[in-house]
Structure 1
Amino acid sequence: MIWITRERPKIDRIACPWLIRRFIDPEAQIVFVPADEVLAQAAALGATPFDVPGVEFSHYGTDCTFDYFLKKYDLRDPALHTMAPIVRGADTDNHALAEQAAGLWAISAGLAHNLRDDEALLAQGMVIYDALYSWATYLQHEKHTQSPTENRLAQVMATYLALQKKARKRTPGWIRELETLIQEHVDTNRIGGPAGISLKAVSEAVQLNPTYLSREFATHFDNLTFGEYIRKLRIDKAIQLLDQPAYSLLDIAYLTGFSDQSHFTRVFKKVVGTSPSAYRKQAQKGKE
């Protein structure tokens, strides 16, 4: 018997041919054609169309074509009925129907992406559904780890990973000390100039090797290097001061540790995307 459906199968149009060949007609011929040619080719070949609108073997309500085949041929194998919601969930994007549905969709989509030939796709799909049927028949209550030793090792590994994660979350004491030190420099305008802050200076203050501090800094400070973090604080402070009309741009440049207004403007525009004066005008306009 010849069965015909749309080309580029993924879920239902692989599951149904598997069901046909394994439980209905072992010698079945499956033909894939463009969607708009299915009915005409079916008539020409004397084939039975499936999984296309307006034919007997198709979707009904929330059921997919695989479900209809089970009902039509009164297939009562429990494994097939275990597979049915998996196929339906994958085919209709309702993965809540079965926890395996998302996995079936992922594998099927990847297979269709890798194989452009529909016959080759069906051949590989037959292997996948044979495996799914074996799981549904013999293995659905088994876990990946079975022996007490394996389970114990899994528990030990899970505990170890949890402790490692917790350890990574601990904040070293020098981080808080460094935050305070940097913030004091920002607040008192001692970022630039002779009394300014440098990686070497803060390393000595928190008693850490400069190389180590440089390497670890980004881990605890928003993935920014020491220099980037200092620049961010300077610009953040500048944005706050721009909201206060009493301060000129020259004042703000000085208060944020820049050597001159020109330098301040260049850095501000690079970070924010607009000049300080344009930013101030836009902010004031937003308040009107």
Structure 2
Amino acid sequence: MRWITRERPKIDRIACPWLIRRFVDLEAEFIYVPAELVLQQAELLSAIPFDMPGVEYTHYNDECTFDYILKRHRIKDPALDRIATIVRGADTDRPDFAPQAAGLEAIFSGLAYNIGSDAELLSLGMIIYDGLYSWATHLFKKKHVQDGPVEQLLLQVYRQYLKREKGRKMPEWAENLKEMIQDQMDTNMTLSLQQASQELEINPAYLSREFSRYFDNLSFGDYMRKLRIDKAKLLIETTVHSLTEIAYLTGFSDQSHFNRIFKKHTGQSPSSYKKSLKK
């Protein structure tokens, strides 16, 4: 059977597919689409819509769609009842429902931030909920289990994420931005995030968020400052420009700002660095 819901799932919209596939329909297929298309696509694809207003499988009062599936399909399992409380607390911003709710919300918020593919989120989410089910079945009375099944499953998720990151190809916008920055090396390097986003025709918030993934784990500002200081060091080492001229050539608005940033990166003032080269 096909099931359909809103795109960009986090908690309930991953918990429900896990519950359905593990306890209701082993062959269930899940589809994520923009919210405004769910009902239209549900009819077109003969899919069951869930976790959205106005459909059968949704929130009722203080309970989540996960709770409704348990009742609707008469699933009796104390471990699932424990998970339901955690999901309810995480999905409705009520961490007081269960101590684990805040952690679950943090994990899936982080995954949603890092991963753009809904299918991949679901794949990793299935592993996490398998781990949570093991905890809720066997370990919920224990405060901590070193190298237990939950830890092992979370490690598996982490390794999958690292493998995905290692194989990540630099997107076209990042390649173009790298060329733009390289071109700036021959100017005074005043490229701003706003200018770059306009040139690349991408949202500045997206650029700011994604930049560090492809540029040495640095923010746009930190990366540009590092390049400017590297260029300043090169100019000090290889030219007869004054420090004031070098500050201008590397995009600093005034000498004091240049001195402060240079010292922060190198541990020396520009003048001290220049003197050290003569020794």
Task: Provide the TM-score with structure 2 as the length reference.
Answer: 0.52
AA of the residue aligned to 2:42: A
Q: How far apart are 1:144 and its partner, in Å?
A: 2.1
Which residues in structure 2 correspond to 1:86-165 (within 5 Å)?
Answer: 86-144=86-144
State the partner residue of 2:191. none
CA distance in 2, matches of 1:50, 1:92: 16
CA distance in 1, matches of 2:66, 2:145: 32
Change (3 A) 1:145 1:63: closer
Q: SS where residue 108 of structure 1 aligns?
A: helix
Q: How far apart are 1:145 and its partner, in Å?
A: 6.4
State the partner residue of 1:43. 43
CA distance in 2, matches of 1:108, 1:17: 15
CA distance in 1, matches of 2:145, 2:41: 50
Query: Share of identical aligned residues, percent?
Result: 64
State the partner residue of 2:52. 52
Q: What residue ranges of structure 2 are gaps of 5+ in the alignment?
A: 147-279
CA deviation profile, 1:103-152 (whole Å, cap 9, x unmatched): 00000100111110000000000000000000000001112268xxxxxx
Q: What residue ranges of structure 1 are gaps of 5+ in the alignment?
A: 147-288
AA of the residue aligned to 1:92: T
Q: SS where residue 8 of structure 2 aligns?
A: coil
AA of the residue aligned to 1:4: I
CA distance in 1, matches of 2:130, 2:115: 19
State the partner residue of 1:243. none
Q: SS where residue 134 of structure 2 aligns?
A: helix
AA of the residue aligned to 1:102: A
Aligned residues: 146
CA deviation profile, 1:83-107 (whole Å, cap 9, x unmatched): 1110000000001000100000000
AA of the residue aligned to 1:28: A
Q: How far apart are 1:8 and its partner, in Å?
A: 0.1
CA distance in 1, matches of 2:90, 2:29: 25
AA of the residue aligned to 2:2: I
- Structure with higher Rg: it is 1
Q: SS where residue 80 of structure 1 aligns?
A: helix
CA distance in 2, matches of 1:145, 1:133: 15
Q: SS where residue 4 of structure 2 aligns?
A: strand
State the partner residue of 2:29. 29
| Matching of residue 70 in structure 1 with residue 77 in structure 2 | no
CA deviation profile, 1:7-55 (whole Å, cap 9, x unmatched): 0000000000000000000100000000000000000000000001000
Task: Provide the TM-score with structure 1 as the length reference.
Answer: 0.50
Q: SS where residue 136 of structure 1 aligns?
A: helix
State the partner residue of 1:162. none
CA distance in 1, matches of 2:21, 2:131: 15
CA distance in 1, matches of 2:71, 2:145: 36
Q: SS where residue 26 of structure 2 aligns?
A: coil
- Could you say what the CA RMSD is over the residues aligned between the two structures, in angstroms? 1.0
Which residues in structure 2 correspond to 1:1-20 (within 5 Å)?
Answer: 1-20=1-20
CA distance in 1, matches of 2:108, 2:145: 26
CA distance in 1, matches of 2:143, 2:49: 40
CA distance in 2, matches of 1:144, 1:77: 23
